[in-house]
Structure 1
């Protein structure tokens, strides 16, 4: 057998192994998955769209913690703001505050062993979430904990699109300013953020917390009705599908990656055909290879039908938002893409209060005004290299 035949045989076996690993891993995931559903709550909610303002508020709340700090992030870097973040947690732990920090295993690749050791030496606890483990190595590599949850003293909570790193406070030379939406909660909804965090923590830390009562103090009702909605590569697509199917007048979507699955894509097309105004806001620049090319097929189809697509020009747009008929608003960690629909652990907030939705829409419209409309011609390319990139992107779109 010549060398070429050997190489081809190895590649075929590798593809077969990856396919079997993914399919069997997915089957096990579906079989063992236990969904979390929470009722409608009432909380005070503030939305931050700029990193400097968010982290000024966030670090102030961390420093004021009295009893416990529970944090889950997808990404934490090794830079000035990350070290400042670790320093705050170390000091709070030394003061006697219970500190638990959980970071996705891939998202924490820049967190050094020394950073973790210093944190744990102070009395805080650190856990990697979603370790890559057998027997389904490839599948476990793909399923990431993309949630961003913080709960302070059981009374203040955060979720949204920001992680910890210099790009999120507008210090990255390419991705500045960083535009994102992050929510701060005070009120009933904090208990659901706490429940979600503690479930993830016990699974990844492999430790059972026997007495949960200190983490669930009495909470007062807030101003806005909402529902916390955690997902694990299941239920998010069907939930979005139902919302889009029921839309009567308008659908607004903001996302850094627009790569919908077949079901939601079909629902969007049908919505436009029946006269629903569809507006999609995406970034002009990209922070990952091929994600823009993967979106072009979907955007071209929707523009032909009459949808409006805008590219954000004033930095990098990373927000995740959907507003249906100005009656239901979704803000969270989930992108409008296959990875969030079918793989990642995500957490979103559906809000039903008209006053709150008007505030979100005001931010969305401001971002829209800082964007340019996308024409069908601008998405057409007869460049062979560009066409090749688009074909490759569509073939691997689940994993982008």
Structure 2
């Protein structure tokens, strides 16, 4: 009897897994890496594999989530055409322009991401949580028209409550306040705190909420962006979420080392546009950008000498992985050095191959990763990938002074990128991300100096140290790397 039931159950599992495998191969159209990893997981751990597939593998590709209305589309298309012509004229008139080297990168982001290039931006760099939140809260306090806030994670603690108090007061003062957060990242915010803001006139938006409280089947495809826009003229973008942990108050993680930018200039308009598109997809408000609202949310900004910036967003709803492809262009254009900081380094083959080519071409490639992992499997996969690059001559540094969460890359004292996108497959293809691509030697040198300063708090992870790791570590690395497309 028991053997008969076991045989029936085994046959059911076999047929079920076979059907699911056919779906993954022929209907999902995932990358070969991801397909192989899912098939291996399904057949190694049948029941658990299916549950993981249910929670982690839903396909959003080609779904139109963020929409312009007809009038907005016409206007933005006109602006893009004008900028393409203007960019060509700049290069033609002044072939020695610093834009010449990165002209094709700028054009790429214009064509693929519709990312406007602006060069009148003032930029402040924050690498410490207290300094970042002091600057953010000061900007919020000075708001007179609108405050738009978008974060992946908002904790329920004193820092988050301080922010909510400011937003509530400003809403009572008549400032338009909109708060958007990822439904998973903000799931612990009490209803009473949100209702207090709403009763003051503020509005709340949740990205991909679940119909079942505290359970969300969309574990993937989260809004990982961190954007704040004040009065349409000042924007914040980078790696910090909202919570005491990001002030270094979590004993387990210690000091929190992150990188965030305050941008004053026309690129704040691009952050505003990104927020409004995300808001439209996440709230019931029928917000249209025209007439008075266009003047309000996109006020005139003085033309001045400043940093050249493009705000680039990517997500699983698009065929192109815009941020990753922009990073690839930066790596491929490098002539002297590449500096990368990322809490997770789980690249796909294209990024890995580009870095190997850079190393074999004599480029100084340096990577900095944290010593304190907040996701163990990703940490072991990271060590496997950096170990491979060490064999090619990469210099790897393990940050020891707490947790390194910065997502930055600097190339040749000339161009850099800062934002929410990690150097991993999840950020490249599964999450909604936003990065600032900056074409400015002064800011690039400043971020290089930040990297050099951080090196003082690092252990140099060279080939000798890597080769001395034990057999258990090697097994962990191998298993984690095998499933890295799912991490």
Question: Does the TM-score normalized on the shorter chain lie above 0.5?
Answer: yes
For 1:220, which of 276, 285, 302 is the aligned residue? 302
CA deviation after TM superposition for structure 1 residue 391, in Å = 3.3
User: Could you list the per-position Cα deviations for residues 225-280 of structure 1 after superposition, in whole angstroms to 9, with x for gaps in the alignment?
Assistant: 11111111422222222221221121111111001001110111111011111000
Q: Is the 8 A contact 1:142 1:399 kept in 2?
A: no
Q: Give distance in 1, aligned partners of 2:163 and 2:203.
A: 14
Matches of 1:355 and 1:287, distance apart in 2: 33
Residues 101 and 126, structure 1, Cα contact 8 Å, conserved in 2: yes
Deviates more, 1:161-170 or 1:35-44: 35-44
**Are the structure 2 counterparts of residues 291 and 378 from structure 1 closer, same or farther at C-alpha, using a change threshold of 3 Å?**
farther
Cα offset, 1:143, TM superposition: 0.7
Superposed displacement of residue 130, structure 1: 2.7
In structure 2, C-alpha distance between the alignment counterparts of 1:22 and 1:94, rounded to whole Å: 48
State the partner residue of 2:436.
349
Indicate whether 1:38 and 2:115 are aligned.
yes
CA contact (8 A) 2:65 2:281 kept: no
Q: Report the CA distance between 1:359 and its aligned residue.
A: 1.3
CA deviation profile, 1:190-224 (whole Å, cap 9, x unmatched): 10000000001001114331243121111123521
Tell whether 2:170 aligns with 1:70.
no
Residue pairs, 1:217-296, within 5 angstroms: 217-222=299-304, 223-233=306-316, 234-296=321-383
| Counterpart-to-counterpart distance in 2, 1:281 and 1:124 | 40
Q: How does 1:73-88 map to 2 (within 5 A)?
A: 73-88=151-166
Deviations 1:167-205 (A, max 9, x none): 111111122210000000111111000000000100111
Would the aligned equivalents of 2:323 and 2:435 in 1 still touch at CA under 8 Å?
Answer: no
Please state if 1:59 is matched with 2:59. no
Compared with structure 1, are the counterparts of its residues 301 and 209 closer, same or farther at alpha carbon in structure 2 (3 Å cutoff)?
Answer: same
Confirm or deny: 8 A CA contact 1:254 1:280 kept in the other structure: yes
Contact 1:181–1:319, Cα closer than 8 Å, also in 2: yes
* Structure 2 residues not aligned, in runs of 5+: 31-56, 67-111
The answer to whether the 8 Å contact 1:244/1:324 transfers is: yes
CA RMSD of aligned residues (A): 2.6
TM-score by length of 1: 0.92
**Unaligned 5+ runs, structure 1:** none
Separation of aligned partners in 1, 2:131 and 2:338: 28
CA distance in structure 2 between the aligned counterparts of 1:382 and 1:16, rounded to whole angstroms: 41
User: 1:371: how far off?
Assistant: 0.8
Q: CA deviation at 1:140?
A: 4.0
Moved more, 328-337 or 231-240: 231-240
SS of corresponding position for 1:251: strand
Structure 1 residues 7 and 143 mapped into 2: Cα distance closer, same or farther (>3 Å)? Answer: farther
- 1:139-150 correspondence to structure 2 within 5 Å: 140-150=218-228
1: CA distance, partners of 2:484 / 2:314: 20
Distance in 2 between the 1:397 and 1:15 partners? 23
The worse-fitting range, judged by mean Cα deviation, of 188-197 and 373-382 is 373-382
| 1:6 paired residue number | 9
Alignment-derived partner of residue 399 in structure 2: 312
**Bigger Rg, which one:** 2
Aligned residues: 398
Do the aligned partners of residues 291 and 221 (structure 1) sit closer, same or farther apart at CA in structure 2, a change above 3 Å counting? farther
Distance 1:106 1:138, change over 3 A: closer
SS in structure 1 of the partner of residue 260 of structure 2: strand
Contact kept in structure 1, 2:113 and 2:322, CA below 8 Å: no
Aligned mates of 2:172, 2:281 — CA distance in 1: 26
**Alpha-carbon offset, residue 36 of structure 1:** 3.8
Q: CA deviation at 1:106?
A: 1.2
Report if the CA contact (8 A) 2:381-2:481 is conserved: yes
Distance 1:170 1:205 in 2: 32
Q: Deviation at 1:59?
A: 0.9
> Does 1:303 find its partner at 2:390?
yes
Q: 1:5 to 1:330 in 2, by over 3 A?
A: farther
Aligned counterpart for 1:164 among listed residues 219, 242, 266: 242
The answer for the alignment partner of 2:265 in structure 1 is 187
Query: What is the aligned counterpart of 1:48 among 126, 141, 147?
Result: 126
Please give the alpha-carbon distance, in whole angstroms, between the structure 2 residues aligned to 1:270 and 1:365: 24
